[in-house]
């Protein structure tokens, strides 16, 4: 499996670390925005080909592409890959508008190639364990309570380096939970609302946000997000069910009494991004739709669009 890595920042490094553990998969080309940084990223990992031209990279002998570039170019790059006959996995969010997300879905259908979204929460062993319990009929979700907290008052990425684009609480970070809530309940959100705090004077984005969602069965989700949190960082999930309460903190899972649950045997790895990439490669080899295909994740984008319209309505 010959992989083109589009982008070489913090998340590209996480993908390449995971790919190193997957037999038969190899990154053979890196595409970046700046020549010096792209060349350095390729040389550091011993990757022979690199370029700042996506067309040049797609002309190489590649089977698939993983897109980890700026959110604003995800859709354009994903569509170009599909039109070139290359399978694509695009990091979350696949786009920052519903129109662009639908355009990727249309390009996938036209090309017949695989298009997968990087919704890692579906693959984290902690959330897989809960999902397995749900599908076995042993748990129904009544409420999910989620906190997504960062301390990010400057335009920095996950590695603490300057970003060339501005991150977004709704279209990026809320996307994880919106999709996970619909995935775990097996339903599409029927009611939702969003509130946002003051916008950053330079970045122009809301630094705090509150989201509420409900599915037809009655299950609800409460999501709090902040870039102002000077404390424990990350996303923390509380599943409140009819037959138990579970707390997921990254790849650790606890019951409501803080007893840790062993999730080491849920899958072949504890690395959610590695498991996500394994699913992408397996779907290509087996000629099937992957879990977290663009089509499966499109309802999350539709819900985000509704939430954005809710926020826009409050400003009028």
Q: How far is CA 72 from CA 22, 97, 179, in A?
A: 29, 9, 20
Neighbours of 200 (CB within 10 A): 17
The Cβ-side half-sphere exposure at 182, using a 13 Å CA radius, reads: 23
Task: Please name the helix (run of DSSP H) or strand (run of DSSP E) that holds residue 67, with its range, or none.
Answer: strand 64-67
> To the nearest 10°, the Cα dihedral for 115, 118, 124, 129?
-50
Q: What is the pLDDT of residue 64?
A: 98
Give the 3-state secondary structure of residue 13: helix
Q: What is the end-to-end Cα distance of the chain in Å, rounded? A: 50
Tokens, residue 255: 């019951």
Rg of the chain taking only CA atoms, in angstroms: 19
Beta-sheet pairing, 141-149 with 115-118: unpaired
Q: How far apart (Å, rounded) are the C-alpha atoms in residues 300 and 63?
A: 27
How many distinct helices (H) and strands (E) make up the chain?
9, 14
For 161-208, what is each residue's pLDDT tens digit? 766 666 789 999 999 999 999 999 999 999 999 999 999 888 888 999
For residue 212, CA distances in Å to 104, 170, 218, 279, 303 come to: 27, 12, 13, 31, 11
Look at the alpha carbons of 87, 89, 95, 99 in this order and tell me if their dihedral is positive or negative: positive
In terms of Cα–Cα distance, which of 177, 185, 193 is closest to 217? 185
User: Cα dihedral sign for 227, 233, 235, 238?
Assistant: negative
Other C-beta atoms closer than 10 Å to the C-beta of 99 total 10
Q: What is the pLDDT along the chain (316 residues), one digit of tens a residue?
A: 999 999 999 999 999 999 999 999 999 999 999 999 999 999 999 999 999 999 999 999 999 999 999 999 999 999 999 999 999 999 999 999 999 999 999 999 999 999 999 999 999 999 999 999 999 999 999 999 999 999 887 766 666 676 666 678 999 999 999 999 999 999 999 999 999 999 988 888 899 999 999 999 999 999 999 999 998 889 999 999 999 999 999 889 999 999 999 999 999 999 999 999 999 999 999 999 999 999 999 999 999 999 999 999 886 5
Domains along the sequence of the chain with CATH = 2-119+273-291 (3.40.50.720), 121-269+301-315 (3.30.360.10)
pLDDT for 251: 84
Report strand pairing: 220-226 vs 208-214: antiparallel
CB 97 within 8 A of CB 74: no
User: Is the Cβ–Cβ distance between 51 and 41 less than 8 Å?
Assistant: no
DSSP string, 131-170: HHHHHTTS--EEEEEEEEE-B--SSB-TTS-B-SS---II
Q: Distance between CA 43 and CA 34 in Å, rounded?
A: 14
Per DSSP, the three-state class of 68 is: coil
């Amino acid at each position: 499996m010959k992989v083109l890595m589009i982008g070489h920042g913090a998340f590209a490094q996480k993908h390449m670390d995971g790919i190193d553990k997957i037999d038969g998969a190899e990154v053979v080309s890196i595409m970046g925005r700046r020549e010096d940084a792209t060349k350095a990223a390729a040389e550091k990992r011993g990757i022979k080909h690199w370029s700042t031209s996506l067309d040049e990279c797609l002309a190489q002998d590649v089977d698939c592409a993983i897109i980890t570039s700026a959110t604003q170019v995800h859709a354009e790059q994903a569509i170009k890959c599909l039109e070139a006959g290359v399978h694509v996995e695009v990091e979350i969010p696949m786009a920052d508008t519903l129109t662009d997300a639908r355009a990727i879905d249309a390009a996938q259908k036209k090309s017949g190639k695989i298009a997968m979204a990087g919704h890692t929460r579906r693959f984290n062993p902690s959330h897989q364990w809960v999902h397995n319990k749900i599908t076995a009929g042993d748990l129904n979700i009544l409420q999910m309570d989620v906190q997504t907290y960062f301390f990010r008052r400057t335009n920095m990425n996950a590695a603490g380096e300057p970003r060339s684009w501005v991150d977004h609480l709704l279209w990026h970070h809320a996307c994880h939970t919106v999709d996970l809530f619909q995935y775990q309940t097996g339903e599409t959100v029927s009611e939702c609302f969003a509130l946002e705090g003051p916008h950053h004077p330079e970045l122009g984005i809301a630094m705090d946000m509150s989201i509420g969602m409900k599915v037809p069965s009655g299950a609800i989700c409460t999501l709090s997000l902040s870039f102002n949190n000077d404390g424990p960082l990350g996303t923390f999930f509380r599943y409140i069910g009819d037959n138990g309460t579970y707390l997921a903190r990254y790849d650790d899972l606890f019951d409501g009494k803080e007893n840790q649950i062993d999730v080491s045997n849920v899958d072949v790895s504890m690395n959610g991004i590695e498991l996500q990439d394994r699913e992408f490669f397996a779907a290509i080899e087996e000629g099937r739709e992957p879990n977290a295909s663009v089509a499966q994740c499109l309802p999350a984008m539709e819900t985000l669009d509704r939430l954005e319209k809710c926020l826009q309505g409050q400003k009028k």
